Amino acid sequence: MRKKNVPIQGLWTSKWAFMLATAGAAVGLGNIWKFPYITGENGGGAFVLIYLLCVVFLGIPIMVAEIAVGRHGRGNPAVSFFRVAALSHRSKMWSAVGYLLILAGFLILTYYSVIAGWALDYVFKAASGIFDHASAAKIDGLFENFIHDPEQLILWHTLIMFFTIFVISLGVQKGIEKAIYIMFPGMVILLLILVGYSIDSGFFGQGLAFLFHPNFAKLTPQNILIALGHAFFTLSLATGSIMMYGAYLPKNISVFKSAIFIAVADTLIALFAGLAIFPLVFAHGLNPGEGPDLIFKSLPLAFGHMQYGHFFAVLFFVMLVFAAFTSAISLLEPSVAWVIERFNWNRAQAAILVGFIIWVLGFSTVFSFNIWQNVKIFGLTFFELIDYLTANIMLPAGGLFTTLFVAWAVDKTILHQELPHVNKIIFNAWFYAMKFFVPVAIFLVLLNVLGVI
Ligand code: PHE
């Protein structure tokens, strides 16, 4: 293995480049597509509260750890684990955790690109005016016809993968940074416009109450697991993305402050997305627990009956594409960096090869909605299986191992080098939380999912 002397793939040109790229990785379909519908399915306020607690007490500490390991290791996650373990005189086997993270990100992209493709298709549907004054039956039919047509889904999935591969093949500064500078601010502006529009709907109070009024009677252990899995997913933890972007972080930037900024930005955007969506859903008497179809059925229906809805529907789906795209590139980078560093390939070749494999594997998600919709493994379609396996098992497990590595295996001087100038009390609070609280909490939730408790 050529792990010791591989050169670093790039460095962010500034602190903001890193912050925006990482926030762009974090903000994605998870915030705008998944968070609203799982909040709807899991009963609203109480679920949101658990999710917020998971972000603050588990997500931020792990994010600090991932960035620190990435920056110290300066390579793809497998290399970073390998190097940091070697410097700490620990077993090189720790690099297996790096592989677990890379694999999780790789698998997520196989379906992520397909769903991002739906959003792209919906930009064109919205622009065509097809939602205007349409009945619920018509909008349902549009969506059902769409997902039952594998060729359509493959077309949009192909376009998303094509652009993702293109940006990644241009590299850290010329590719990722450039795309982020356009798309991240664009997405935030569009979202704020949409929240304003939603305030205007007259049902804003109901949306607020749904998100923030907790009803603990509805909370089950399963909800807690979903909240935890989602906290990892939405922060892009345990997928290699954050650790990879951390590897490109110049030394003089504070890891702690960056992690807090990213988590706050990600959470605010999820809440704003909820505030943009739920009032419109309520204004039209629709059901917030609709499921994955929520933004593809309820929202177009709502937009179709609102003033200027045609225009705002286009803005909404463009925003969703921007959000999804900045995440897709962060999902591809770790496995591409691995191929480059492991086999000495050039970037474009590596991006095309890895992207191609992901594109092909994505067909399993495409077919889960049509020709393979009755093919079930453990009662789940391929898409549901990959989603369950990654969000609810691989991410918590990856987070758990990363935590154990940082708190129990890594030499403490390395942590001090990566977190200089951090107030002693804060450092210790973080360190001891990582040693005991975080792993125990994740472990309990994992046992629960496996049915042990
Ligand atoms: N965090 C992204 C979202 O919320 C998804 C993602 C997961 C991106 C893991 C990168 C890595 O949509």
Instruction: Give the position, in ligand 1's atom list, of the atom nearest the Cα of 324.
Output: 12
pLDDT in tens, 163-214: 999 999 999 989 999 999 999 999 999 999 999 888 887 788 888 888 888 8
**233 CB within 6 A, ligand 1:** yes
Pocket probe mutation, ligand 1, options 67, 103, 109, 112, max atoms within 8 Å of Cβ: 112
Helix 95-128 and helix 150-170: axis angle, to 10°? Answer: 120
pLDDT in tens, 360-410: 999 999 999 999 999 999 999 999 999 989 988 899 999 999 999 999 999
Mean pLDDT, rounded, for 46-75 = 95
How many CB atoms are located within 10 Å of the residue 217 CB? 7
Q: What kind and span of H or E run contains 394?
A: none
Flag whether pLDDT at 1 surpasses 50.
no
pLDDT in tens, 127-177: 999 999 999 899 999 999 999 999 999 999 999 999 999 999 999 989 999
The reported pLDDT for the residue numbered 2 is 47
Q: Tell me which residue has tokens 């396996």.
A: 389
The reported pLDDT for the residue numbered 7 is 65
Residues 192, 32: Cα–Cα separation, whole Å: 13
Flag whether pLDDT at 450 surpasses 80.
no
Which residues make Cβ contacts (< 8 Å) with residue 203, sequence separation at least 6? 278, 279, 280, 282, 283
The reported pLDDT for the residue numbered 138 is 94
Flag whether pLDDT at 449 surpasses 50.
yes
pLDDT in tens, 263-312: 999 999 999 998 888 888 888 888 887 777 888 988 898 899 888 889 99
Q: In angstroms, what is the C-alpha Rg of the chain? A: 21
Q: Please, how many CA atoms are within 13 Å of residue 298, restricted to the half-sphere of its CB?
A: 24
**330 CB within 6 A, ligand 1:** yes
Cα(116) to ligand 1 centroid in Å equals 12
Flag whether pLDDT at 109 surpasses 60.
yes
**More confident site: 358 or 196:** 358
Cα(26) to ligand 1 centroid in Å equals 5
**201 CB within 6 A, ligand 1:** no
**26 CB within 6 A, ligand 1:** yes
